[in-house]
Structure 1
């Protein structure tokens, strides 16, 4: 008896390979469905870039507002307070 497979065995092996190939093609199709189209990727990337630019602009405005608030506090509160307390301190030191 020879080691060559029978015709039925060849057909079964071929069908098994065909089923494996079909499963591989289906998996590949599912993976391709999950892949993002380049145009959609570009649009999302542009939108993200615009969002980052907007957030950076807002951050710069907030930093500028903080600087202005500090200047206001110094100008409206601390300078007049020093103007009032400095003569009193000088009078107390000279009078003592």
Structure 2
């Protein structure tokens, strides 16, 4: 009988076990309170996906606008180059050709007087 616990010691051990169990339950409840609900997680992920989609659409629109702006600049550069070529032809025809014709007339006039 010396190895068997007394009724008072059994009661203390049971109380200590219940106290440990209560403490474990409080810890578990605290951990469950901090856990994210699956529905809430799904809603957060959907919101994040929507934001990502909106950003992707905006980036795509900005890229399209940038490409159009680049195309307009290239077209303007082509028009400017064509205008410069036209100006060069105009200079040639309005200045150089009359000068050559004048020189030709002078040459022909000097040959004709001999």
TMscore range, shorter length = 0.7 to 0.9
Alignment RMSD (CA, Å): 2.2
1:62 match = 62
Quote how far apart the aligned CAs of 1:74 are: 1.1
2:103 match = none
Unaligned segments of structure 1, at least 5 residues: 89-96
Quote how far apart the aligned CAs of 1:23 are: 0.7
Quote how far apart the aligned CAs of 1:54 are: 0.8
Q: Supply the distance in 2 between the matched residues of 1:63 and 1:33 (Cα, whole angstroms).
A: 45
Aligned length: 87
**Superposed counterparts of 1:14-93, under 5 Å:** 14-76=14-76, 78-83=77-82, 84=84
TM-score, length-normalised on structure 1? 0.74
